Amino acid sequence: MEFGETIEETLIREIKEETGLYIEPLNLIDTWNYLNNENNHQIAGIIYSCKIKNFQDISLSDEHDYYEWLSQEDLHKMNKWFYPKIKNWNWNKLILQG
């Protein structure tokens, strides 16, 4: 997050920088927190549903190795910190809101 940015501005900028996609944040869905006590390291995440405004080929930044679109049935493939949160979301409601 850059100093002075809103959360939504940060989301728009980061998605553009990391994927080449232009998005419109729609709704706050959830938050998550990861603690690594061994390294005294913490990450907090804020999860939004977003509309992709320019669906095109994804152009990943050097920060990423790959991406994968997952169906609801394949959400268990998400990492061990995300999956426990997202498996309980009301996906039908989220899809209708988007």
Domains and CATH numbers, the chain: 7-96 (3.90.79.10)
Q: What is the pLDDT of residues 25-56, one digit of tens each?
A: 998 988 888 888 898 999 888 889 899 998 77
Report d(CA 11, CA 5) in Å as an integer. Answer: 10
Q: Which residues of 50-69 are buried (b: 16+ CB within 10 A; e: fewer)?
A: beeeeeeeeeeeeeeeeeee
- Tokens standing for residue 93: 């409601």
Q: Which of 19-23, 25-29, 75-79 is predicted least confidently?
A: 75-79
